[in-house]
Amino acid sequence: MSKEVKPETVSLCPLNMAAAPEQTPLCIFGTGDLGFSLGRRLLQSGYRVVYGSRRPHSCGPLPPGTQVMSHGAAAQSANLVFICIHRENYGFLETLLPELRGKVLVDVSNNLKKNQYPEANAEYLQRLVPGAHVVKGFNTLSAWALQNGPSDANRQVYLCGNSAEAKQTVAETATKLGFTVLDRGSLSAARELEDFPLQLFPEWRMPLRLAVGLTAFFFFYLLIRDVIYAYVEQQKDISFRIMVSLANKVFPIVSLIMLSLCYLPGVIAALLQLYRGTKYKRFPDWLDRWMLCRKQLGLVALAFASLHVLYTLLIPIRYYVRYKVAASTISQIKENRTSEFDTAIAWRTDSYYSVGILGFGLYLLLGITSLPSVSNALSWREFSFIQSKLGYVTLLFCTLHTYLYGWNKFLRPSTYKWYTPPGYMLSLIVPTVVLVVKLLLLLPCVDRTLTRIRQGWERTDPEDGCEKSLLA
């Protein structure tokens, strides 16, 4: 639309005014932080902005270049109105029914808790102003995101509404602001959109709960085996080891188990597809939820592995370790003897550290490629190769690192204090199962069948085949 178009021509097309922001201003009801940031962002995108306020002459500072007037005057001057006020203050809108008739109202409100009201705010607004076209949107964005522009973490704008033309108008405005629009359907989806900002790390809940549960279990398990056992059976007080030594045993155990849990659902899914002979049957809900949080499981596992590395670097400078080294040196000097160098132990120790370093390096690579800025720069094949192929290599190195740590300790009766296995043995169960089953799935005969199934081939039931032939 060119600049020569007359204003009255624009007013005849209320839902298409986003194509000509320089002629028709956008209206914002509300002069708080969100309203201020939204107005500033609209100005930066080339729109004219007017504010509607109860106190036009004393409403506080507003972005330079905007106008402020009464609610009625502001609504009359615009075709698109952003309602940046709380639901409790919607009442005055009933007095503006003539001014708001045919206008597009964008409800950006949120609640303090779920199910705070019997109906969604947008549905309530539509009932208050039946002659307007209410669209729910922009409520998942913060004032900071609106003021500073979109980023990878908050680029999406969710919309819902009963009028397709009204949603298109809002979508064009959001796109010009630099956001990606996702249409969630009719206004009945407003409740769902209003619940989005109230969710606190929904995809992280299960991984964090699992991490806390595993940490607590292994902490008390090792506390009983190491500290309490030494105090009861040997009358030795080694409770100081809780702070470093015990923690440095718990962290790698939890990290290895959680890393293996990232790849266990993929193995289970492959076995289900082989058993069913098709990829078109849905997985169980618990498996779907499990697969959707694999990224979070991996990042939490990486955090525990990083703590293990830091604690390992700290151990040589501990007072307890330096004290034991000094005491051992003095004892050898007094006895005038030196211990014989054991090449086998040296090989095992160096291999243990080398495999651990390589495993942690691959761990870091997996974590880096999980970042949106990095994963967006990778093709799907590259991302899949790193997360899947190198992921199993990482699991293999970390599992081998733990096996080298244990070496032949499982053959010693003294290892099983109070007939309980060491914590590292328990941590090897899940990753070993995952790796063994994955190796079985890589067998040519199994891999060939699984590949065909994932390409769309289905195994026909023999009974169904007989029935079909008889019917033919």
DSSP string, 124-176: HHHHHSTTSEEEEESTTS-HHHHHH---GGG-EEEEEES-HHHHHHHHHHHHH
Helix (H, G, I), strand (E, B) or coil at 236: coil
**Run of H or E including 181:** strand 180-183
Domains of the chain, each with CATH number or no CATH: 7-198 (3.40.50.720), 204-459 (no CATH)
For CA atoms 442, 275, 426, 313, the dihedral sign is: positive
Question: Residue 60 to residues 68, 84, 124: CA-CA distances in angstroms?
Answer: 10, 15, 29
- pLDDT of 375 reads 81
- pLDDT of 376 reads 78
CA–CA distance, 16 with 144 (Å, rounded to integer): 28
- Tell me the pLDDT band of 7, cut-offs 50, 70 and 90: very low
CA–CA distance, 350 with 134 (Å, rounded to integer): 67
Q: What are the backbone angles phi and psi of residue 279, rounded to the nearest 5°?
A: -105, 5
With contact defined as beta carbons under 8 Å apart, do 136 and 122 qualify? yes
- Largest distance between two CA atoms of the chain: 105
With contact defined as beta carbons under 8 Å apart, do 62 and 106 qualify? no
- pLDDT of 339 reads 64
Name the one residue in this structure whose structure tokens are 């009625």: 72
Q: Is the pLDDT score of 44 beyond 60?
A: yes
- pLDDT of 21 reads 41
Q: Is the pLDDT score of 212 beyond 60?
A: yes
300 or 142: which carries more pLDDT confidence? Answer: 300
For the stretch 233-280, pLDDT in tens is 989 998 988 988 899 999 999 999 999 999 999 999 999 999 999 988
The whole-number average pLDDT for the span 433-444 is 95
Q: Is the pLDDT score of 20 beyond 50?
A: no
CA–CA distance, 349 with 115 (Å, rounded to integer): 58
Name the one residue in this structure whose structure tokens are 């991490």: 211
With contact defined as beta carbons under 8 Å apart, do 72 and 46 qualify? no
Lowest mean pLDDT among 106-110, 129-133, 243-247, 393-397: 243-247
Name the one residue in this structure whose structure tokens are 């190796």: 439
With contact defined as beta carbons under 8 Å apart, do 135 and 163 qualify? yes
Give the pairing of strands 156-161 and 133-137: antiparallel
CA–CA distance, 234 with 293 (Å, rounded to integer): 45
Q: Taking the model in full, what pTM does it have?
A: 0.70
CA–CA distance, 138 with 38 (Å, rounded to integer): 10
